[in-house]
């Protein structure tokens, strides 16, 4: 692969002020001979030169800047040239055609530049995935996560764990090399203590994978509650658009609506559901709609359970998981409960019971507080620095590594009379090999194809 020179447009196709083309490989500089003035030469250090592109199909010189990285430098670690010029698509197309016409340069495949950076050791596999995460980030928060992973958010903890396990192997190897000395280079209890610490670190990673990789969808926020509790009105208000039909007639919503939005900069899916109630008399459609609402709630990351302010209803009469539920009293502009006048103390006691916030879609009371509470819950759902694609790919490896560590700890148990250092060393090597699938120190062609095929050409 590295003996081939590749070329690709790295800026988006179409009209733009500036355009960029990348050439990577041993013939990167040679391929521009006769196409750029002043003449370029391979040099030991990077350089930037300003000049003109001259090639067939262009009637006059085109101003350009050439950025050059020598072998061992730059993004891929191989000789690289970036051509920054006018963003005219016909000019960029003509330049690529002129360069490839020589036969020493071919078109790059999707993600091939980042693949070269990985294979050269410039990036590990999690950082390579983060490159795509940066490119495709739908929000500021998603961009932050991708940048944290690119900066080593996954690399550093895995590297630390691997170094710890390698140290244990060094002690094992020393003991196996000098068996006649009868020296215990590391005790069974010390091994057990170190492996316990490593397992705890792996369990932290496991939890991050579970939170991030449990679904291919954005976090789901579902509005539930009794019929005519104001769910659809609140749904429209939170989305800031009229998506749901609103009517004073109970039971207007018989199916469910969902919309993907950026909520305070955080990507999520809002779902509006049919009202649920404990009433004994329901028609078949009502029964199906309410059953569907309950199923959706079980698949939700956050439930906003709405109770009408003027009804003396238990906020959690259906027993939803309180840890993922915000209990909301709607229509706070209504001051009566069951049309019966209550004194202020009694009213406050009923409304505060199991209620997180009281709102009014009509007056706007409590809406800002509810938005703040939802945004906070969303932030808690998102991990510190793990992309969803990385979590999905690595989850199985993390689980397997923890299982291997637990088996190793059983071998170290003081009550276990069978203790063979060579077998334990083999077990630790298996852990290291499994961790290698995460950072890419161990990989297969299938893994690389799955990751880099998602990249666009030129990245």
* Per-residue pLDDT tens digits for 208-238: 777 665 444 578 888 888 888 888 888 888 8
With cut-offs at 50, 70 and 90, classify the pLDDT of residue 190.
Answer: confident
Q: Does the structure show a pLDDT above 50 at 451?
A: yes
| pLDDT (0 to 100) of residue 336 | 47
Q: Classify domain 124-199+390-459 by CATH architecture.
A: Up-down Bundle (1.20)
For residue 63, what are the β-bridge partners?
52
| pLDDT (0 to 100) of residue 14 | 83
| pLDDT (0 to 100) of residue 316 | 55
pLDDT digits (tens, 9 = 90+) for 298-340: 778 888 988 887 666 554 556 667 788 888 888 888 764 444 4
| pLDDT (0 to 100) of residue 313 | 57
With cut-offs at 50, 70 and 90, classify the pLDDT of residue 287.
Answer: low
Mean pLDDT, range 151-176, rounded to an integer: 82
List, by residue range, all CATH 1.20.120.430 domains of the chain: 124-199+390-459
List, by residue range, all CATH 3.40.50.300 domains of the chain: 220-381
Average pLDDT, the chain: 79
Q: Classify domain 5-108 by CATH architecture.
A: 2-Layer Sandwich (3.30)
Domain 220-381 listed as CATH 3.50.50.60 = no
Mean pLDDT, range 1-18, rounded to an integer: 88
Q: Does the structure show a pLDDT above 60 at 38?
A: yes
Q: Does the structure show a pLDDT above 70 at 87?
A: yes
Q: What is the dihedral of CA 355, 360, 363, 368, to 10 degrees?
A: 60
- How far is CA 143 from each of CA 139, 149, 209, rounded to the nearest angstrom? 6, 10, 18
pLDDT digits (tens, 9 = 90+) for 418-446: 667 788 888 889 999 998 888 888 777 87
- Look at the chain and count its residues: 459
CA 141, CA 52: separation in Å to the nearest integer? Answer: 41
CA 426, CA 408: separation in Å to the nearest integer? Answer: 10
| pLDDT (0 to 100) of residue 82 | 95
CA 411, CA 319: separation in Å to the nearest integer? Answer: 44
List, by residue range, all CATH 3.30.1360.120 domains of the chain: 5-108
Q: Which residues contact 348 (CB under 8 A, 6 or more apart)?
A: none
pLDDT digits (tens, 9 = 90+) for 99-118: 999 889 999 998 899 899 88
């Amino acid at each position: 692969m590295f003996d081939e020179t590749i070329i690709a447009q790295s800026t988006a196709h179409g009209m733009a002020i500036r355009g960029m083309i990348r050439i990577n490989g041993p013939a990167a500089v040679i391929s521009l001979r006769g196409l750029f003035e002043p003449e370029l030469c391979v040099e030991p250090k990077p350089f930037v030169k300003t000049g003109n592109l001259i090639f067939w199909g262009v009637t006059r010189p085109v101003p350009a800047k050439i950025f050059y990285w020598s072998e061992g430098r730059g993004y891929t670690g191989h000789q690289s040239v970036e051509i920054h010029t006018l963003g005219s698509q016909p000019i960029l197309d003509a330049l690529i055609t002129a360069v490839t016409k020589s036969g020493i340069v071919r078109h790059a495949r999707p993600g091939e530049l980042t693949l070269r950076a990985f294979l050269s050791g410039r990036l590990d596999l999690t950082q390579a995935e983060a490159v795509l995460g940066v490119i495709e980030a739908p929000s500021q928060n998603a961009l932050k996560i991708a940048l944290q992973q690119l900066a080593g958010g996954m690399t550093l903890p895995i590297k630390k764990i691997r170094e710890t396990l390698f140290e244990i192997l060094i002690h094992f190897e020393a003991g196996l090399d000098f068996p006649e000395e009868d020296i215990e280079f590391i005790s069974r209890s010390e091994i057990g203590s170190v492996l316990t610490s490593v397992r705890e670190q792996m369990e932290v990673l496991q939890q991050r994978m579970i939170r991030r990789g449990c679904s291919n969808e954005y976090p789901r926020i579902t509005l539930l509650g009794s019929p005519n509790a104001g769910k659809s009105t609140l749904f429209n208000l939170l989305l800031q658009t009229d998506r749901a039909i609103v009517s004073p007639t109970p039971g207007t919503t018989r199916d469910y609506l969902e919309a993907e939005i950026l909520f305070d900069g955080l990507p999520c899916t809002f779902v509006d559901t049919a009202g649920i109630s404990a009433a004994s008399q329901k028609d078949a459609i009502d029964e199906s709609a309410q059953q569907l609402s309950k199923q959706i709630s079980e698949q939700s990351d956050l439930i906003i359970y709405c109770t009408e302010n003027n009804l003396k209803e238990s906020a959690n009469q259906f027993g939803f998981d309180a840890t993922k539920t915000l209990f909301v009293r709607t229509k706070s502009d209504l001051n009566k409960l069951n049309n019966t006048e209550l004194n202020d103390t009694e009213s406050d006691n009923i409304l505060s019971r199991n209620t997180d916030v009281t709102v009014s879609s009509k007056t706007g009371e409590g809406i800002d507080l509810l938005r703040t509470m939802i945004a906070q819950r969303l932030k808690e759902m998102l991990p510190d620095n793990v992309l969803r694609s990385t979590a999905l790919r690595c989850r199985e490896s993390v689980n397997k590594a923890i299982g291997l560590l637990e088996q190793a700890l059983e071998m170290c148990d003081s009550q276990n009379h069978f203790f063979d250092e060579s077998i334990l060393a083999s077990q630790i090597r298996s852990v290291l090999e499994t961790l290698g699938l995460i950072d890419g120190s161990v990989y297969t062609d299938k893994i690389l194809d799955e990751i880099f095929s998602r990249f666009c050409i030129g990245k």
